[in-house]
Chain A
Amino acid sequence: MAKPRVKVPKKASPGDVITIKTLISHKMESGRRKDKKTSELIPRKIINAFKAQFNGATVFEAALEPAISANPYIQFNAKVSESGEFHFTWLDDDGSVYEAKKSISVG
């Protein structure tokens, strides 16, 4: 099961550049490993995209590739000028979408 963890400061001053840290527990199965017993390829199952939105506008997005190791950790900065809510989404190969939301008060 994939469970996202997010760290966003609770408060900031307008114009501050804040650091956002995200981590999701995920196997990131590359699709290149073989099952030791059956010698068959284990199908690929990775998080292929990540997106962070603030009040509906995209702040940061990333495409993830099979070489990225398990439990991908993504850290980035964002400038905040108003209070609002960050909305994070991770897209899985199997179509699942994992989501997390964090509010920040600016002022």
Chain B
Amino acid sequence: MITQYLNPGYLDKSNLKGIATMAAGFVAIIIGVSLSSGPLLADPNNSVMTLDNGQTLVTDVKPGADHPLDHLYSGWRFRATETQSLQLDDFENPAFPAVDTGEALWNEVDGSEGKSCASCHNDAATSMKGVRAQLPKWNAAINRPHTMETQINECRTMRMGADKWKWEAKQMLAMTAYAGLQSRGMAMSVNVNEGEMSKWNAKGKELYYARVGQLNMSCANCHEDNYGKMIRADHLSQGQINGFPTYRLKWAGLGSIHRRFKGCMKNIRAKPYKRGSDEFTALEVYLAARGNGLAVETPSVRN
């Protein structure tokens, strides 16, 4: 063997050719692998969202011609099959104990007026149907849009004589999940032309495209320009907000839209705005309207 290697003959042309062919083969294999896995990761997957009760939810919507995106995809389409299946079955969906809490709170009398939500709104299944799909909604009395959280707190303070709930309080999340669930499957339909909503929408749009933080990134850099691609181990979605409050496995619990905004801002090393701030409310208005047409998925499950 040694003599064979020491023999200069092994460097003759025919052998070199063999080595070169072999090397080319390896290169081809490497390219082949990266090409075949490329499209798989760069697109939303093709899962169909059919719930346990037989209801099928739209996860791919063709928006109007002036929309910056060609397709609106639910964030669900970017998740792994295991995460997706958690949302399909109300028993498996880890948000449902909170929904049960929400239902109990709905019927619980609180505050000085001796009222519960049900005293005025009766059965949530009928009175809350479609509410989530229209929020945030313009309210002339307070001269700003109501999010579900501010609407609930207005009811609690003005009509029930009860204390406000904090934005991220367990009760608030339970209530927004329970009330939001009643609209599940309905198309998001936020009206940005009512009152001064167009101003809020424009402000939200400005925030969406403004580069901020040490990494100098805007929402659009990830969620419009690069959705479907991998950002390290995470599959970037379009950042649609049709499934909130959402159960994030990372949080091991429910979280509001504004909590998610904060997380994104921290990731790009920006100083996050506060929950319920004008900035986040404007961003919520813009994002909700940007996803008009997608089905309400509350309470969704994400990674």
Interface residues of A (CB under 8 A from B): 1, 3, 5-7, 21, 23, 25, 71
Contact = CB atoms under 8 A, between A and B. Distances in A.
9 contacts: A3-B97, A3-B100, A5-B96, A5-B100, A7-B91, A23-B91, A25-B97, A25-B100, A71-B97
Nearest to A24: B97
Interface of B: 89, 91, 96-97, 100-101, 104
A23 B93 CA distance: 12
Given A7-B91, A21-B91, A23-B91, A1 B104 contact: yes
Contacts of A71: 97
A3 B100 CA distance: 7
A65 B65 CA distance: 61
Q: Is the interface of A mostly helix, strand, loop or mixed?
A: strand
B260 to A, nearest CB: 24
Contacts of B97: 3, 5, 23, 25, 71
User: 10 closest A-B pairs (Cβ-Cβ)?
Assistant: A7-B91, A3-B100, A25-B97, A1-B104, A25-B100, A21-B91, A5-B91, A71-B97, A5-B96, A23-B91
Given A5-B91, A5-B96, A21-B91, 9 more contacts: A3-B97, A3-B100, A7-B89, A7-B91, A23-B91, A23-B97, A25-B97, A25-B101, A71-B97
Contacts of A3: 97, 100, 104
A6 B96 CA distance: 12
B265 to A, nearest CB: 32
Nearest to B97: A25
A23 B91 CA distance: 8
Contacts of A7: 89, 91
A25 B104 CA distance: 12
Contacts of B89: 7
> Which residue among B89, B100, B104 has the maximum number of chain A CB atoms within 10 Å of its CB?
B100
Contacts of B91: 5-7, 21, 23
